[in-house]
């Protein structure tokens, strides 16, 4: 657990951070809470020559009410997501999912932006922001950009962030009170990554599902929206049987990985079962 | 059931907080890695990426120019002096013990074997320079499955072949027991490979001054290590000092003479500076010896009423690439434990030790006994299911009744004490066994998606390693005694020196309690010294739950000698005859004249002054004692586990866990509780979570704690623990508790899982019972084999392994 040598800067503004990142080129990496990058450094799986530590940029931390949306600073920790009253009120799914990330030590240091920018498909929050239809806000040499979550995750550990670009915040539309939610995480130990996770949002109307959104964790190289489930659930009766039936297509279009904790066919099965459970919980049935 | 050894005493049985803990929890611990010596250099090892390969060239010259690098060596540089790492347990006369050079010279036989080393000014420089060493390998075929390793066409790990030894034991007429038995069951169980994962990684510091070397090591066995360095590596024993500073757990993994310890000593001598090495977790997972890894074929013959006629066990044990300190003997420690608490007419045991191109296996918490206990307790449940007898009832029909002790088992062990009825009755009540059975029936009738299962483990084990004559008869290379010294200081305080070197067990507290009672001095006045061969020159160290049952008895014997000497001096001080003195609570008094008395502290000061000692009496109360036990001790207990198994996902939730243990007389209930809790956790870890996995090329896949799942508090239930107590036949009545929880809990959990799923047709789930394996077992039992291959080429989970089919049935 001995990292290779690297240079380190801790800029005091987003502009300086972007300049440092641009200056460092391909061998520069942003570090925030360090909960994803540091293990890679210590295992010598990553060899950046420059770390740009955005830990001093307090403007990237915290939650602001933007009227019909919340703006969440990229450096907001998992712990803050769990405990912030605005998040709990307007997008409780994020708080619930953040509460399942690893252990308390990780949740106090790890950040929302770090989890999104690292883009590990086994991470919990990418599938959640995908289900929430969130928008990623970036700062780069060419100014600021807004990237919808659906376009942000490009491949395994790869995002739409351009060279020199930093994720500064995430804009999440507020959900009205008729939305229910559930993050169903399946893992072997409390600290372990999800074998499969399902982030479900359901809007109910007159005993039916008016609208459902489902994001899947660890069912491919990127977080995935379970489109077949969303279509099948829309208009379905809000009953366990109907929702389980809608969940039967949860693994359509997925390419789940194989590892020690599960072969692809087992993950497909889990996705169906867990999606049913998540929809039931989100629909309150 | 309470102890009846002695009248209750002041300290024995008191839940003292541990003396050790203030230091541990305030960061004042002296770990080996904290040691910094002037001029100290750091080592980094280059390790084989191949499971099996010829080394055709090693060129370390590239490392020499790197920043901070002082030296670099390959195996050839040590060839003349490095010898072979010792195996102390040649279990049969014709055992194959291949040479095991600390650093590979011509051939590597597992991934992680050291092939070169960099010596640098700091550990970063040392690690960086590893990339500049060139090694050419010529890959050879790996040997990864011991079930086929003995086939004639199999590639060989060593030239002599893949068989290390075959060890057999039999008693009674096994053929008769099986030939016309109404029921014969045969099962094959897999004891997966485990990685010990002590919290503190291994670390070594070696310092030469002239021709004397001091080795600090995170070891369980400073005394054995000193002996080994001298006996096998040619350093005169009087010039070797080994220090085990504070050591953060071992579980058997630090019961070893490691390559890195030997190499640190050799490198320190070559470079003339102190050297240090601390492993990374990944290095540790690859190169700390592993545990378990057996295939167990077990066959049981019984009457229709469930009475056991005979038991037959055929083990294949994976030795790994080499035989380390006690590698071949570990399965033999289990040989005597398969019959467990049950009476039977005949028993046969065979173990074949087989080489593979994996990290060697060796002692891991329980060492042989957890494996044996698992197999017998699993097949007892299968027998109960086969015969339709309630599983606790089946056990009771077969176990040794409390009035039958001492009882000589079919293995020839004499169980001195025990009361299986009492422990089981208590566990049953705490668990609400009948209530849970009723709930289980209801849920089965309803066809619940989450099924309830009840698992039983009525275990015993043997600890207190060990009577030296028994070790001798098993060809072990040393004795099993333990040593203790008492030093009475002039002010009446006491230094206790123990050869049993603790690494987390709480000896400093427990030993103080024992000595406080024996000498009648306050607990606070006692200091326990251990873990440095210069301070504690004699000892056999700490493993096999031996410290209390052997080291504790040595302590009592040493205290006796102090009291005997002090009595003579006290008699002189009181102008009385020693025969007229009685000693109680630290005070010598004249029988019939309680006013005439001297405390042991007064006697200590008078002895120090030595002004008026009786003729021929030396001015010293100090004593030494070496205790060699005449029998093992046999803790036992009944563990009951309730699991809820989600049949949709395969997830296993432990709903409740009851442990009633009989460890004899308890010195400190708090320490016992800690050992039981930790032990159960480690056993549950084998049942549900942990497995050291090699891929088809022989690479270890589980190199980090993200892949090797060690459960944490959040994953484990709150245990309900109680005790019964039948005193052991030694003077303290103690048995030992370090491994009981681990030995007991694994079968309790797996039995509970199978019990939950038996109505669905499931007969077994291979450990660790991961959700995927449980799910596949259910699919297979439904006659709907799951599609697709399980990950990483593992055996088809949940499918009966070869040989698990019932080979007999109701006649």
Q: How high is the pLDDT of residue B1?
A: 38
Rounded CA gap, A201 and A213, in Å? 5
- B21-28+481-627 and B291-465+631-793 agree in CATH topology: yes
Rounded CA gap, B642 and B450, in Å? 12
Q: How high is the pLDDT of residue A1?
A: 63
Q: How high is the pLDDT of residue A6?
A: 96
Q: How far is A1 from chain B (nearest CA, A)?
A: 5
Indicate the pairing of strand B240-243 with strand B212-217: parallel
Give residue-wise pLDDT tens across range B244-299.
Answer: 999 999 999 999 999 999 999 999 999 999 999 999 999 999 999 999 999 999 99
Domain stops at, among A114, A149, A172: A172
Indicate the pairing of strand A50-53 with strand B346-355: unpaired
Which residue of B123, B704, B788 is in closest CB contact with A263? B788
* CA proximity to A246, closest of A282, A219, A222: A282
Is it true that the peptide bond before B768 is cis, omega within 30 degrees of 0?
yes
Q: How high is the pLDDT of residue B802?
A: 36
Please tell me which residue of chain A has the smallest CA distance to B124.
Answer: A2
Q: Report B:108-137 residues touching A (Cβ under 8 A).
A: 123-124, 127-128
Residues of A in contact with B123 (CB under 8 A): 2
Residues of B in contact with A260 (CB under 8 A): 693, 701-702, 707, 791-792
Rounded CA gap, B117 and B45, in Å? 4
Residues of A in contact with B774 (CB under 8 A): none
A67 and A41 part of one domain: no
Provide the CB-side half-sphere exposure for B420 (13 A, CA): 25
Residues of chain B where predicted confidence (pLDDT) is lower than 70: 1-9, 783-811
- Its domain, for residue A113, covers 60-172
A44 and A72 part of one domain: no
Residues of B in contact with A4 (CB under 8 A): 127-128
Q: How high is the pLDDT of residue B789?
A: 41
Residues 6+ apart with CB under 8 A from B683: B370, B741, B742, B743, B744, B745, B746, B748, B749
CATH code of the domain covering residue A276: 3.30.390.50
The DSSP call for residue B548 is: I
Give residue-wise pLDDT tens across range A140-193.
Answer: 999 999 999 999 999 999 999 999 999 999 999 999 999 999 999 999 999 999
* CA proximity to B757, closest of B776, B736, B737, B733: B776
Q: Are B84 and B75 in contact (CB under 8 A)?
A: no
Q: How high is the pLDDT of residue A2?
A: 86
A43 and A69 part of one domain: no
Q: Are B417 and B727 in contact (CB under 8 A)?
A: yes
Residues 6+ apart with CB under 8 A from B394: B306, B380, B383, B384, B387
- Is A55 inside any structural domain? no
Q: Where are the domains of chain B?
A: 21-28+481-627, 32-140+201-247+254-287, 291-465+631-793
- Greatest CA separation for chain A: 61
- On whether any CB of chain A is under 8 Å from the CB of B784, the answer is no
CB contact (8 A) between residue B281 and residue A1: yes
How large is the average pLDDT for residues A82-95?
A: 97
A240 and A272 part of one domain: yes
How large is the average pLDDT for residues A65-75?
A: 98
- Is A97 inside any structural domain? yes
Please tell me which residue of chain B has the smallest CA distance to A196.
Answer: B649
Supply B450's token pair: 């989450």
Which residue stretches of B103-152 are H helix? 123-129
Rounded CA gap, B134 and B746, in Å? 45
CB contact (8 A) between residue B791 and residue A258: yes
Residues of B in contact with A266 (CB under 8 A): 772, 775-776, 786, 788, 790
Would you say how long chain B is, in residues? 811
Please give the order of strands across the beta sheet that includes B163-171: B163-171, B346-355, B308-320, B291-302, B183-194
A32 and A64 part of one domain: no
A189 and A264 part of one domain: yes
A114 and A200 part of one domain: no
Q: Are B578 and B500 in contact (CB under 8 A)?
A: no
- On whether any CB of chain A is under 8 Å from the CB of B577, the answer is no
Chains A & B: contacts with CB separation below 8 Å? 74
A69 and A15 part of one domain: no
Q: Report A:174-193 residues touching B (Cβ under 8 A).
A: 186, 188-193
CB contact (8 A) between residue A189 and residue B128: no
A101 and A66 part of one domain: yes
- Is A128 inside any structural domain? yes
- On whether any CB of chain A is under 8 Å from the CB of B790, the answer is yes
Which residue of A43, A262, A274 is in closest CB contact with B772? A262
Rounded CA gap, B515 and B496, in Å? 8
Q: How high is the pLDDT of residue A35?
A: 95
Residues of B in contact with A258 (CB under 8 A): 791-792
Please tell me which residue of chain A has the smallest CA distance to B705.
Answer: A192
Given 3.30.365.10, 3.90.230.10, 3.20.20.70, 2.40.110.20, which CATH number is that of B291-465+631-793? 3.30.365.10
Rounded CA gap, B658 and B641, in Å? 6
Residues of B in contact with A193 (CB under 8 A): 706
Rounded CA gap, B142 and B156, in Å? 8
Total count of domains within chain A: 3
Q: How high is the pLDDT of residue B10?
A: 85
Q: How high is the pLDDT of residue B9?
A: 56
CB contact (8 A) between residue B281 and residue A266: no
Residue range B32-140+201-247+254-287 forms a domain whose CATH class is: alpha beta
Q: Which value does ipTM take for this structure?
A: 0.97
- Is A275 inside any structural domain? yes
Give residue-wise pLDDT tens across range B462-478.
Answer: 999 899 999 999 999 99
What backbone torsions phi and psi does residue B186 show, to the nearest 5 degrees? Answer: -130, 135
Q: How far is B280 from chain A (nearest CA, A)?
A: 5
- On whether any CB of chain A is under 8 Å from the CB of B49, the answer is no
- Is A122 inside any structural domain? yes
Q: Are B113 and B55 in contact (CB under 8 A)?
A: no
- Is A278 inside any structural domain? yes
Indicate the pairing of strand A28-31 with strand A50-53: parallel
Please tell me which residue of chain B has the smallest CA distance to A263.
Answer: B791
* CA proximity to B694, closest of B351, B379, B293: B293
CATH number of B21-28+481-627: 3.30.365.10
Cα distance from N-terminal residue to C-terminal residue, chain A: 47
- On whether any CB of chain A is under 8 Å from the CB of B770, the answer is yes
Q: Are B451 and B647 in contact (CB under 8 A)?
A: yes
A195 and A168 part of one domain: no
Three-state SS for B658-716 is: EEEEECECCCCHHHHHHHHHHHHHHHHHHHHHCCCCECCCCCECCCCCCCCCCCCHHHC
Q: Report B:688-707 residues touching A (Cβ under 8 A).
A: 688-689, 693, 701-702, 704, 706-707
Which residue of B651, B709, B790 is in closest CB contact with A263? B790
CATH code of the domain covering residue A81: 3.30.465.10
- Is A79 inside any structural domain? yes
Average pLDDT, chain A: 97
Residues of A in contact with B449 (CB under 8 A): none
Q: How high is the pLDDT of residue B782?
A: 82
Mutate to test the interface with B, among A188, A198, A240 (most CBs of B within 10 A): A188
Which runs of E-coded beta strand occur in chain A? Answer: 7-9, 28-31, 50-53, 63-65, 69-73, 135-140, 143-148, 153-155, 158-159, 166-173, 179-186, 196-205, 208-217, 224-225
């Amino acid at each position: 657990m001995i990292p290779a040598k690297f240079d380190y800067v801790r800029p005091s503004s987003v502009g300086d951070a972007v300049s440092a990142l641009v200056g460092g080129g391909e061998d520069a990496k942003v570090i925030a809470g360090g909960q994803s990058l540091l293990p890679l450094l210590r295992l010598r799986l990553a060899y950046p020559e420059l770390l740009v530590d955005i830990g001093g940029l307090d403007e990237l931390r915290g939650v602001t009410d933007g009227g019909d949306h919340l703006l969440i600073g990229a450096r907001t920790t998992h712990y803050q997501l769990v405990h912030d009253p605005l998040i709990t009120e307007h997008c409780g799914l994020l708080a619930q999912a953040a509460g399942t990330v690893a252990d308390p030590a990780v949740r106090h240091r790890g950040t929302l932006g770090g989890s999104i920018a690292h883009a590990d498909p086994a991470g919990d929050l990418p599938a959640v922001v995908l289900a929430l239809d969130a928008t990623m806000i970036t700062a780069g040499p060419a100014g600021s950009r807004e990237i919808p979550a659906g376009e942000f995750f490009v491949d395994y550990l790869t995002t739409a962030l351009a060279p020199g670009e930093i994720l500064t915040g995430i804009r999440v539309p507020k959900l009205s009170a008729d939305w229910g939610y559930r993050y169903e995480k399946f893992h072997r130990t409390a600290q372990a990554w999800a074998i499969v996770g399902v982030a479900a949002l359901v809007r109910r109307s007159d005993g039916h599902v008016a609208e459902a959104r489902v994001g899947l964790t660890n069912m491919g190289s990127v977080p995935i929206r379970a489109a077949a489930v969303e279509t099948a659930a829309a208009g379905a009766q809000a009953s366990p049987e109907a929702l389980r039936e809608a969940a039967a297509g949860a693994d359509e279009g997925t390419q789940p990985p194989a590892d020690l904790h599960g072969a692809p066919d087992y993950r497909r099965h889990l996705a169906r079962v867990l999606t049913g459970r998540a929809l039931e919980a989100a629909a309150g049935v | 059931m309470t102890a009846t050894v002695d009248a209750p005493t002041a300290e024995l049985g008191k839940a003292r907080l541990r003396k050790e803990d203030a230091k541990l929890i305030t960061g004042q611990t002296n770990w080996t890695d904290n040691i910094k010596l002037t001029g100290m250099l750091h080592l980094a090892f280059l390790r084989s990426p191949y499971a099996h390969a010829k080394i055709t060239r090693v060129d370390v010259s590239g490392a020499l120019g790197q920043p901070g690098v002082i030296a670099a060596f390959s195996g050839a540089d040590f060839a003349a002096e490095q010898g072979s790492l010792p195996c102390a347990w040649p279990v049969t006369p014709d055992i194959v013990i291949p040479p095991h050079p600390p650093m590979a010279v011509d051939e590597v036989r597992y991934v992680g074997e050291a092939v070169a080393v960099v010596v640098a000014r700091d550990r970063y420089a040392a690690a960086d320079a590893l990339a500049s060493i060139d090694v050419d390998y010529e890959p050879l075929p790996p040997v990864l499955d011991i079930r086929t390793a003995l086939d004639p066409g199999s590639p060989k790990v060593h030239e002599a072949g893949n068989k290390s030894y075959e060890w057999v034991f039999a008693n009674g007429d096994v053929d008769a027991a099986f030939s016309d038995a109404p029921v014969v069951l045969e099962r094959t169980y897999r004891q997966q490979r485990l990685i010990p994962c002590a919290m503190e990684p291994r670390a070594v510091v070696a310092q030469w001054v002239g021709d004397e070397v001091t080795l600090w090591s995170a070891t369980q066995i400073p005394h054995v290590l000193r002996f080994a360095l001298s006996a096998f590596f040619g350093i005169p024993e009087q010039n070797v000092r080994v220090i085990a500073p504070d050591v953060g757990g071992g579980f058997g993994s630090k019961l070893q003479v490691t390559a890195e310890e030997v190499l640190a000593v050799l490198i320190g001598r070559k470079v003339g500076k102190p050297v240090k090495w601390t492993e990374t977790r990944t290095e540790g997972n690859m190169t700390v010896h592993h545990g378990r890894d057996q295939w167990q074929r077990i066959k049981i013959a019984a009457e229709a009423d469930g009475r056991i006629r005979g038991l037959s066990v055929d083990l294949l044990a994976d030795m790994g690439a080499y035989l380390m300190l006690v590698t071949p003997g570990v399965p033999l420690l289990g040989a005597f434990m398969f019959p467990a608490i049950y009476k039977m007419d005949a028993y046969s045991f065979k173990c074949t030790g087989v080489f593979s191109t994996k990290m060697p296996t060796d002692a891991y918490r329980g060492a042989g006994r957890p494996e044996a206990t698992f197999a017998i307790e699993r097949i007892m449940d299968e027998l109960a299911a086969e015969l339709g007898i309630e599983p606790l009832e089946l056990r009771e029909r077969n176990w040794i009744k409390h009035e039958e002790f001492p009882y000589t088992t079919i293995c020839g062990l004499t169980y001195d004490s025990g009361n299986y009825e009492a422990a089981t009755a208590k566990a049953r009540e705490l668990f609400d066994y009948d209530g849970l059975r009723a709930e289980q029936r209801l849920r089965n009738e309803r066809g619940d998606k989450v099924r309830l299962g009840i698992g039983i483990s009525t275990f015993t084990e043997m600890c207190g390693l060990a009577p030296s004559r028994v070790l001798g008869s098993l060809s072990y290379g040393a004795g099993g005694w333990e040593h203790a010294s008492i030093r009475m200081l002039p002010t009446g305080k006491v230094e206790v020196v123990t050869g049993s070197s603790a690494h987390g067990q709480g000896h400093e507290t427990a030993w103080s309690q024992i000595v406080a009672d024996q000498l009648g001095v306050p607990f606070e006045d006692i200091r326990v010294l251990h873990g440095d061969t210069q301070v504690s020159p004699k000892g056999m160290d700490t493993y096999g739950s031996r410290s209390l049952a052997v080291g504790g008895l040595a302590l009592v014997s040493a205290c006796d000698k102090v009291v005997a000497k002090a009595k003579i001096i006290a008699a002189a001080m009181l102008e009385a005859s020693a025969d007229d003195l009685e000693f109680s609570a630290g005070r010598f008094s004249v029988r019939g004249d309680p006013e005439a008395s001297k405390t042991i502290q007064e006697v200590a000061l008078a002895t120090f002054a030595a002004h008026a000692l009786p003729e021929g009496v030396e001015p010293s109360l100090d004593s030494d004692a070496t205790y060699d036990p005449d029998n093992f001790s046999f803790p036992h207990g009944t563990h009951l586990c309730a699991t809820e198994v989600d049949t949709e996902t395969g997830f296993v939730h432990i709903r409740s866990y009851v442990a009633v243990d009989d460890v004899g007389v308890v010195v400190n209930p708090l320490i016992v509780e800690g050992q039981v809790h930790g032990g159960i956790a480690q056993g549950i870890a084998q049942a549900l979570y942990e497995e050291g996995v090699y891929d088809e090329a022989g690479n270890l896949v589980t190199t980090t704690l993200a892949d090797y799942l060690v459960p944490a508090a959040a994953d484990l239930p709150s245990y309900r623990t109680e005790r019964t107590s039948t005193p052991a036949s030694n003077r303290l009545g103690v048995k030992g508790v370090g491994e009981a929880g681990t030995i007991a809990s694994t079968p309790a959990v797996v039995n509970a899982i199978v019990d939950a799923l038996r109505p669905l047709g499931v007969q077994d789930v291979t450990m660790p019972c991961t959700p995927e394996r449980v799910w596949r077992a259910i699919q297979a039992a439904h006659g709907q084999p799951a599609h697709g291959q399980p990950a990483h080429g593992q055996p088809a989970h949940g499918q009966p392994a070869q040989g698990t089919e019932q080979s007999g049935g109701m006649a």
